[in-house]
């Protein structure tokens, strides 16, 4: 099972979910996306480049096909993989993943990742950014993530038509009081593509530790078992 972190994050932030999933899955791979977790910083971030990087990582690990779980933007990347690299994807689980990037959304999420907001003196994430993104400058990572969101607003890399064409099973999870992804946005996925299942849990889902992780892990494991059973019948 491959776990993809979200914006401005790094692989180790997926460990709490991995620990909750250990009763059900034996192996987890948690790559850092390009520019994150100390990796070289590309000129720009795109979902397509992130997805190709995940495929290359799978190749390096000898993984032909697997379930891919993505948190927030990591889920957006997982959906891009499902759309454009379906042969490498057994199924996708997204957690608190935005796919609607209208003007209001872009304005909000770019503010969330802005250096002006995150760079305020005493912000609790700054020491974590300095430690986990070293030797990269977290400010440059934040700027590129802001550019990424603005680019999705202009031309989304995972739009409604892409979602409609996804052929692998998907479980979309979000909280009913998430500050970024509203339940209706997640629930709309099911209406677009019947291969999507939706799980709405109580509370927020940003950051991942806000989720009831034991319950979510149980639900994910049960869904994966059903997906494997259906695939075996095909």
- pLDDT tens per residue, range 152-194: 999 999 999 999 999 999 999 999 999 899 999 999 999 999 9
Asked, for residue 109, whether it belongs to a domain, the answer is: no
Asked, for residue 108, whether it belongs to a domain, the answer is: no
Asked, for residue 139, whether it belongs to a domain, the answer is: no
Longest dimension (CA), the chain: 57
What phi and psi values does residue 196 have, to the nearest 5 degrees? -90, 135
Nearest CA-CA partner of 82 in 185, 190, 161, 165: 165
CATH number at residue 40: 3.40.50.1820
Q: CA torsion sign, 213 to 189 to 81 to 110?
A: negative
Task: Please count the structural domains in the chain.
Answer: 1
Asked, for residue 206, whether it belongs to a domain, the answer is: yes
Asked, for residue 212, whether it belongs to a domain, the answer is: yes
Q: What is the spatial distance between Cα 183 and Cα 185, in angstroms, rounded to a whole number?
A: 5
Residue 226: which domain range? Answer: 2-100+156-233
The segment with the largest mean pLDDT, out of 28-37, 117-126, 204-213, is: 28-37
Is residue 233's pLDDT more than 90? no
Asked, for residue 9, whether it belongs to a domain, the answer is: yes
- The 10 Å Cβ neighbour count of residue 148 is 22
Q: What is the mean pLDDT of residues 98-125?
A: 95
Asked, for residue 151, whether it belongs to a domain, the answer is: no
Q: What is the mean pLDDT of residues 129-149?
A: 98
Is residue 234's pLDDT more than 90? no
pLDDT at 115: 97
Is residue 119's pLDDT more than 80? yes
Q: What is the mean pLDDT of residues 188-208?
A: 95
Asked, for residue 36, whether it belongs to a domain, the answer is: yes
- The 10 Å Cβ neighbour count of residue 180 is 18
Helices (H), 115-156: 115-118, 125-132, 138-154
pLDDT at 197: 98
Is residue 49's pLDDT more than 80? yes
pTM over 0.95: yes
């Amino acid at each position: 099972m491959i776990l993809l972190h979200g914006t401005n994050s790094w692989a180790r932030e997926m460990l709490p979910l991995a620990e909750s999933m250990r009763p059900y899955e034996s192996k987890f791979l948690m790559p850092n996306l390009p520019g994150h977790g100390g990796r070289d910083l590309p000129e720009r971030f795109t979902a397509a480049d992130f997805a190709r990087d995940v495929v290359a990582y799978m190749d390096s690990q000898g993984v032909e096909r697997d379930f891919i779980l993505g948190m927030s933007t990591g889920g957006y990347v997982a959906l891009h993989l499902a759309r454009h690299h379906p042969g490498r994807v057994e199924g996708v689980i997204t957690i608190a993943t935005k796919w609607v990037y209208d003007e209001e959304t872009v304005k909000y999420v770019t503010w969330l990742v802005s250096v002006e907001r995150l760079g305020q003196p005493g912000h609790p994430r700054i020491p974590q950014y300095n430690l986990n993104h070293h030797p990269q400058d977290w400010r440059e990572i934040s700027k590129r993530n802001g550019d990424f969101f603005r680019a999705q607003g202009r031309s989304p890399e995972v739009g409604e038509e892409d979602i409609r064409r996804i052929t692998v099973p998907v479980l979309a999870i979000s909280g009913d009081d998430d500050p970024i992804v509203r339940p209706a946005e997640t629930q709309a996925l099911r209406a677009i593509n019947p291969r999507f299942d939706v799980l709405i849990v109580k509370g927020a889902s940003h950051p991942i530790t806000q989720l009831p992780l034991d319950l979510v892990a149980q639900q994910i494991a049960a869904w994966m078992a059903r997906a494997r059973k259906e695939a075996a019948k095909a």
